[in-house]
C-alpha cells in the first residue's frame, strides 16, 4: 500500500470512513520535528512491506482538529485504527515494526467474520485474566497471546471450566464464537460481565448470568448487545459438553465487538465493581 499523506481534516475523516473494518496505521508528525524525520523512513519502509495495511501520514499543523480529536500531545505519535475506531497508541517507536505486526496478526484484513465488528483479542489482558479447572494454565496464556492456533483448553477434574477475561480497556461485545472437537466441545455456556471477583463453581452454577448460550449446533452466537456495552471483564462458565462426559476441550474462543472510545490503558486493572442486578 502506498503511503497516503493527509493535507486536511476532511481527507482524514473520509479515509477512515472508506476503510471500514480495515487496519489503518497513522503517523502524526510535524515538519519541524527531528524525531519525526528520523522515524519517517522506517514508517515508509513498513508501508512498502505491508500491502494489506493502509499507512497514513498526518501533518498536525495542517490537520489541527484531527490531532486534537485524537489526543495527540507530542510528535511523533503513531496510532492504529480499524475503520473510524481508534484502537491503540504505539508507546515505543523503537519497536514500531513489532507493534504493527501485532495489529496485523489480530486484525482481519479480509472480509469480517461479523460484519462491522472486530476480533477483540488485542484488548484481552492475558496477565490479568485467569482460568479455573484447566489441565495446563500455560495453554490459556498461549492461546490468547501467541499467533499459533494449535493451543487448546482442557478441563481437569470434571467437565466444567471458568474463564475470566479481563480487558485492557472497556469494550462492547457483539458476538462470541466458541468450539471444540466433537463430543468434547462446550455445550452450555453462561456469560457474566463486570463481576468484581472470579466466580467459584457453586456461585456460577447457581446464578443466571447475563446470557446463556447453547453451543450444540453452531459456534458463533450473537449476544444481547445492549447488555454488553461497557465490559471490563467477561466471565464464561462452561457448564457441560456435547457428549456429557467428564472432559471438555476448547479449541476456539473468539470475541467480536468494538472498543469503547478511550485512550487510557487499563493494563493494571485487576478487579472491577459489578453492576447491580447482574449476579446475586
Active-site positions read: 33, 36
Report the 3 state secondary structure along 105-143: HHCCCCCCCCCCCEECHHHECCCCCEEECECCHHHHHHH
SS3 label, residue 205: helix
Radius of gyration of the chain (CA): 21
**CA dihedral angle for residue 123, residue 146, residue 109, residue 15, rounded to 10 degrees:** 40
DSSP 156-175: SSSS-EEEEEEEEEEEEEEE
Alpha-helical segments (H) within 18-108? 34-49, 64-69, 96-106
CA-CA distance, 113 to 222, in Å (whole number)? 12
| Cell numbers found for residue 207 | 446464578
- Kindly give, in sequence order, each residue whose CB lies less than 8 Å from that of residue 29, ignoring residues fewer than 6 positions away: 36, 40, 57, 58, 59, 60, 75, 76
Please provide residue 277's backbone torsions phi and psi, each rounded to the nearest 5 degrees.
90, -10
- Kindly give, in sequence order, each residue whose CB lies less than 8 Å from that of residue 169, ignoring residues fewer than 6 positions away: 123, 259, 260, 262, 264, 265, 266
DSSP-assigned beta bridge partners for residue 222: 175
| Cell numbers found for residue 169 | 480497556
Amino acid at each position: 500500500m502506498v503511503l497516503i499523506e493527509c493535507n486536511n481534516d476532511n481527507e482524514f475523516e473520509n479515509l477512515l470512513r472508506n476503510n471500514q473494518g480495515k487496519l489503518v496505521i497513522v503517523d502524526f508528525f510535524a515538519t519541524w520535528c527531528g524525531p519525526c524525520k528520523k522515524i519517517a523512513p522506517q514508517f515508509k519502509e513498513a508501508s512498502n512491506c505491508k500491502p494489506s495495511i493502509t499507512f497514513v501520514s498526518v501533518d498536525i499543523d495542517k490537520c489541527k482538529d484531527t490531532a486534537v480529536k485524537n489526543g495527540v500531545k507530542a510528535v511523533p505519535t503513531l496510532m492504529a485504527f480499524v475503520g473510524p475506531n481508534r484502537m491503540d497508541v504505539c508507546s515505543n517507536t523503537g519497536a514500531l515494526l513489532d507493534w504493527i505486526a501485532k495489529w496485523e496478526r489480530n486484525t482481519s484484513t479480509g472480509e469480517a467474520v461479523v460484519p462491522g465488528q472486530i476480533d477483540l483479542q488485542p484488548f484481552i489482558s492475558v496477565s490479568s485474566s485467569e482460568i479455573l479447572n484447566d489441565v495446563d494454565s500455560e495453554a490459556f496464556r498461549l492461546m490468547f497471546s501467541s499467533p499459533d492456533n494449535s493451543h487448546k483448553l482442557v478441563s481437569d477434574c470434571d467437565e466444567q471450566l471458568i474463564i475470566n477475561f479481563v480487558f485492557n480497556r472497556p469494550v462492547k461485545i457483539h458476538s462470541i464464537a466458541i468450539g471444540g472437537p466433537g463430543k468434547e466441545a462446550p455445550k452450555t455456556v453462561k456469560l457474566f460481565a463486570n463481576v468484581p471477583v472470579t466466580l467459584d463453581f457453586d456461585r456460577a452454577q447457581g446464578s443466571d448470568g447475563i446470557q446463556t448460550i447453547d453451543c450444540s449446533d453452531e459456534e458463533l452466537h450473537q449476544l444481547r448487545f445492549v447488555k454488553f456495552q461497557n465490559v471490563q471483564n467477561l466471565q464464561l462458565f462452561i457448564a457441560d459438553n456435547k457428549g456429557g462426559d467428564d472432559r471438555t476441550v476448547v479449541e476456539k474462543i473468539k470475541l467480536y465487538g468494538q472498543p469503547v472510545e478511550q485512550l487510557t490503558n487499563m493494563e493494571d486493572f485487576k478487579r472491577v465493581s459489578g453492576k447491580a442486578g447482574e449476579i446475586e
